[in-house]
């Protein structure tokens, strides 16, 4: 499967998957929102796909340009670890993947929306592991 994605206005993130069965390519389109199941996000995280569901939930390869509201202890650790993939809520990294395949997700309380997003991503990471 070769997934790729693009943003869609007001509806979430469109993820297009191409799979081959024999000589036939099958095209599947899924629209993700913050309310989509953790399984959908697990697949994005598993393949390292860049996504932006909303300002409250997005991810991309590499480290963050900003650490947002991340507390100092976690910020210093994050910057020292050189993540290969980062998931954000707004401008704050809430989970990141290290080169050795280990996911880090500090249990820091932010807003109600970010808590909901953290729970979703935590469940998605559990499905990967």
Burial 103-115 (b: 16+ CB within 10 A, else e): bbebeeebeeebe
95 pLDDT exceeds 90? Answer: yes
Return the pLDDT at 8.
37
The pTM (predicted TM-score) of the whole model is 0.78
Q: Tell me the Ramachandran region of residue 10: left when phi exceeds 0, alpha when psi lies from -120 to 50, beta otherwise.
A: left
% residues pLDDT > 90 (the chain): 53
Return the pLDDT at 40.
86
Return the pLDDT at 20.
59
Return the pLDDT at 32.
78
């Amino acid at each position: 499967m070769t997934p790729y994605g693009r943003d869609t206005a007001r509806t979430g993130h469109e993820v297009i998957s191409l799979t081959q069965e024999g000589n036939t390519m099958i095209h599947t389109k899924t629209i993700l929102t913050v309310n989509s199941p953790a399984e959908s996000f697990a697949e994005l995280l598993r393949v390292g796909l860049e996504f932006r569901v909303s300002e409250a939930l997005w991810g991309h390869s590499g480290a963050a340009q900003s650490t947002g509201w991340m507390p100092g202890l976690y910020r210093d650790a994050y910057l020292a670890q050189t993540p290969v993939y980062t998931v954000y809520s707004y401008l704050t990294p809430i989970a990141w993947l290290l080169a050795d395949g280990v996911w880090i997700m500090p249990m820091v309380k932010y807003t109600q929306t970010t808590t909901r997003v953290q729970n979703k991503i935590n469940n998605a990471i559990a499905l990967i592991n």
